[in-house]
Chains A and B, each alone.
Chain A
Amino acid sequence: MLRTSSLHYRLQAACPCFATLSVCAFAIGAIAHTPAWAAGTLAGTNIENIATASFDTGSGTVDIQSNTSVILVDELLDVTVASTDPGDVTTTPGATGVSLTYRVTNNGNGPESFRLTANVANSGDDFDPVFGQIVIDTNNNGVYDAGVDTVYVAGTNDPLLQPDQSVNVFVLTNIPSTQTNGDRAGVSLLASAGTGTGAPGTTFAGAGEGGGDAVVGTTGADGDANGFIRVDAASVVLAKSATILDPFGGSNAVPGSIITYTLVATVGGTGTLNNLVINDPLPAGTSYVAGSLTLQAASLTDAADTDAGNFNGTRVSVTLGNVPSGETRTVTFQTRIQ
């Protein structure tokens, strides 16, 4: 498609005014839009060029204009996909709806819809999660909201992105219950330009925005990125020990002896164990020593209040919250042998 006018402009009696007038209208239109896109001049923009000249043939200065040469900017098809999770997404064996987050960006210069495909069977990892669904971040908050964000159906709601526009996409997968601690899985999301993909420079005649052609850019008009899931079976080991102090300074279990119990919770594996709570019922034949409960050597009140621990008459309870692996929490309390 040759878009350069090859007409030489000549000043003749036959109505040059109209020719000049249309030239001016073009020029005004060209000034109106300033390309401010990272993706470049928008597809469908006409680049119009006119030269003017002045000269003197002895009877005064004469001004003339050239023809307008016009180029229509074609549509460049480019897309990038990035994983936007800050690191591996941790999960547990048998978990369902594990969400990985990606950002799809239209780097082309025309509006384009993109076909999305998720791949759970990648090489170089430990297992393949079971694909659930692709979800578009409809409310654009970067977090998967079940029932709010729209489930993607290929060919039905392919996201239409303006030049430079991005959309967050979630890939939900299920984890086989047989996976063990530390297993890692890569899940990739592929986005392909709806117009077509191919080697850079591949052209789709007439398929560009604004009537021009569409041409595949350096990205090949598709892009993909890997997100990673890591099975994180954090575990806790609770060790309980007791020391006895009898009323005579010895360590005999006799009525009146004080038993000091020490509970050490050690979180192993990888990741974090969430909402960890230690409950310990009082042994029969003992009575609780009021005010004896401690966490990490700091005293806790017996009442159920803002601090982490309480004694309710039959058991002590200490809320440890989220404990990263490799850390320990030590709880102590005392009872008196009746």
Chain B
Amino acid sequence: MMKILSALIAFCLAVPAFSAPLELASEVFVERVQKRADGSTATVLEAPKLVVPGDQLVFVVRYKNASAQPASKLSVTNPIPRAVAFSGTADGTEIVSVDGGKNWGTLAQLKVPKADGAFRQALPSDVTHVKWNLNQTLAAGSAGKLVFRGVVR
């Protein structure tokens, strides 16, 4: 724990004060199917007041360049909580890891070891981390959001 603590202090000290050029915010919503009076259904996003296993979650990561400088090489990483089975992103431009962030690739490129030593194709539920490498420069004041979905295990 002390190691982590000192590492964090070092990290904090390394960042100059008042230099928060990028804002990053994480939000979670629950996706619900609501029945309309006429019998049709609508999918709505709700604040997660009530969440049980099997519920569909939508994770939204918002970023904004709050500085006066353009930001480049923006990369956003989101570890998938253990109680959530990843089910995909909105744009499909992500790369993922199925081994805790050691190896990265598109889901189709990744394999998972089986008990007998052989490998099988990775499934969305195997994903441990999702990452977006945004190759464009983020102009001062501009913002965007990244969205992925998961199911409560």
Contact = CB atoms under 8 A, between A and B. Distances in A.
Nearest to B130: A51
Interface string B68-90: 01111111111101111000000
Give the interface size class of chain B. Answer: 35 or more
A39 B43 CA distance: 25
Interface string B11-28: 110010111111111111
A215 B53 CA distance: 11
Interface stretch (B1-9, B91-99, B111-119): B1-9
Interface stretch (A65-73, A124-132, A148-156): A65-73
A53 B76 contact: yes
Interface in A1-57: 1-4, 6, 8-13, 16-17, 20-21, 24, 27, 30-31, 33-35, 39-41, 45, 47-57
Contacts of A87: none
Nearest to A24: B4
Give the interface size class of chain A. Answer: 35 or more
A71 B61 contact: no
Contacts, number: 163
Nearest to B72: A56
B81 A30 contact: yes
Contacts of B61: 51, 66
A79 B16 CA distance: 56
A54 B24 CA distance: 10
B52 interface: yes
Given A54-B75, A213-B50, A20 B8 contact: yes
Closest 4 pairs (CB-CB, A-B) = A40-B53, A13-B17, A66-B26, A66-B24
Given A17-B9, A31-B82, A53-B75, 8 more contacts: A20-B8, A20-B11, A21-B8, A24-B4, A27-B79, A35-B83, A50-B79, A54-B74
16 contacts: A1-B49, A9-B25, A11-B19, A45-B83, A47-B84, A49-B81, A51-B24, A53-B63, A56-B73, A57-B67, A58-B69, A61-B73, A66-B25, A67-B25, A73-B51, A213-B50
